[in-house]
Amino acid sequence: MCEEHHSGIGRRAVFLTGAAAALTLGSVSFASAAGRDGQETRTVRGTLPPGAPDFVYVPVDVPDGVREIKVAYSYDRPTVPAGTTGNALDIGIFDERGIELGGRGFRGWSGGARTEFFLRADDATPGYLPGPVREGTWHIVLGPYTVAPRGLSYEITVTLTYGEPGETVRPVYPPERATGRGRAWYRGDCHLHSWYSDGRRTPAEIAALARAAGLDFINSSEHNTHSAHAQWAEAAGDDLLVLLGEEVTTRNGHVVALGTDPGTFVDWRYRARDNRFGRFARQIRRAGGLVVPAHPHATCIGCNWKFGFGEADAVEVWNGPWTPDDEVALADWDALLVASVRQGREGRGGRGGRGGREGREAKDERDGRDWIPAMGGSDAHRDPDVVGHPQTVVLADDLTRRAIQDGIRAGRSYIAESQHVSLAFTASGGHGEHAGIGERLRVDNDTPVTVRLEVTGAPRCTVRFVTDQGLLHTSAPLPVSGAGVVEWRTTASYAAYVRAELRHETAAGPLPGVPAAFTNPIFLGHR
């Protein structure tokens, strides 16, 4: 049986869900399921105009006795002139516990990756959470990502299957420890997508590629869903640590929640102007995770980071194959380093210009560190995306969730294009003082300092030493063997920090070559 419910945005009230503007349409109702077997179907059609709210909710009144709910949808994709946005419509669902921002009702999200999904107690479409289909008002959520000038016409079909529910699945999560080498450098990829969001690879396929790339750890980071958390136990192992997280994909930028507690869901339904990001950044940290703004200067719609860096534990400076927006992200991050040493010398503290009680609390949550480390991730979705390009190489006490996070948070890391590139970056004073990546060499301002970079796996690459004054030293190309040592001498009065870049050869022109690797800084002098 099929019924139509025609919905027009002009006849409905726009309201606020505690954050971004949203629209709720009329309810889709089903008859009581008492004594029923079989299925019932309802269809909803409507049109959204340009400028539609970020989220449109379609309430579905689910009776008792439902075993499975299935949703299919479609929408028109008209041809539009060059430079004009076409139609793109995302979809997800909340159960009878409601659509409150940060509430418990979330049951799944597939964005624009799927045209249909189902949920029941023992199974669900990837991106969605298995569990009982309980009586009450559920909400299908539509996300009009872009709307063409003539509007976006959609059709949603909801099918309820009646009967006894199956047995609810008990989730099993991967362990928080793998067999490590004690205090050592561990390689990881913290930004990956499987078919549990918009990727095309299974967790097992990703794990195999991670092992082939020489990785010790990875982070599950599906768009706006934690449905993959319970799917990684078999793919993990003694040789591969799997951290659990989410890529929180808002309309004003994406943030990787890195290594949260299993089953943690982080809401995404807000913009920078809603002043909600701090709340969810704190939720990520309460769940044991790190807050990492992703690809902050990416050019895709909604990807550019607009929340500031006051809550960041690290920032993803290198995302996938190196592009101009990564070069901008590197320069922007370096400017944050300059600001941090300037603020430290002026005695103000803070992060990226953020002040007041909230800024102090954010800094306290990071053990008082007043700078933001860089990291990288492949953001791999499907072939030919390369898992482990780039990879973050972390000095950690062991191969555990907490130890890896501690190393990333402290900035004891560098980013490399592959397992073949290895760096050893140090600074030393004249009386035995020594510091490594992410540390501070405590010497007087006029004490001579020797900066040393040992490299393997980077044939004909050039070493660049960058400080708060900019690029101050460039080496000759390394030999074809890819191995070499480059030293440079300076003082703390001349360089408040030094970081190293390893660049490939480039064609003639003002821009440097693509990086093979770069490090977090070593700070020089007393605070």
Res 343: pLDDT:
81
Res 126: pLDDT:
98
Report the chain's mean pLDDT, rounded to a whole number.
91
For 452, phi then psi, to 5°, come to -135, 130
> Which alpha helices (DSSP H) does 191-258 contain, by range?
203-212
Res 346: pLDDT:
61
Q: Show the 3-state SS of 332-398.
A: HHHHHHHHHHHHHHHCCCCECCECHHHHHHHHHCCCCCCCCCEEEECCECCCCCCCCCCEEEEEECC
pLDDT in tens, 318-337: 999 999 999 999 999 999 99
Intervals of the chain under pLDDT 70: 1-20, 32-36, 344-369, 507-509
B/e letters for 24-61, b = 16+ CB within 10 Å, e = fewer, are: bbeebebeebeebeeebebebebbbeeebbbbbbbbbe
User: For the whole model, what pTM was predicted?
Assistant: 0.92
Res 309: pLDDT:
97
Instruction: Classify 26 as helix, strand or coil.
Output: coil
Res 349: pLDDT:
38
| Contact in structure between 162 and 39 (CB atoms under 8 Å) | yes
CA distance 412 to 406: 9
Eight-state DSSP code of residue 177? B
Q: Which residue bears the tokens 């930028």?
A: 253
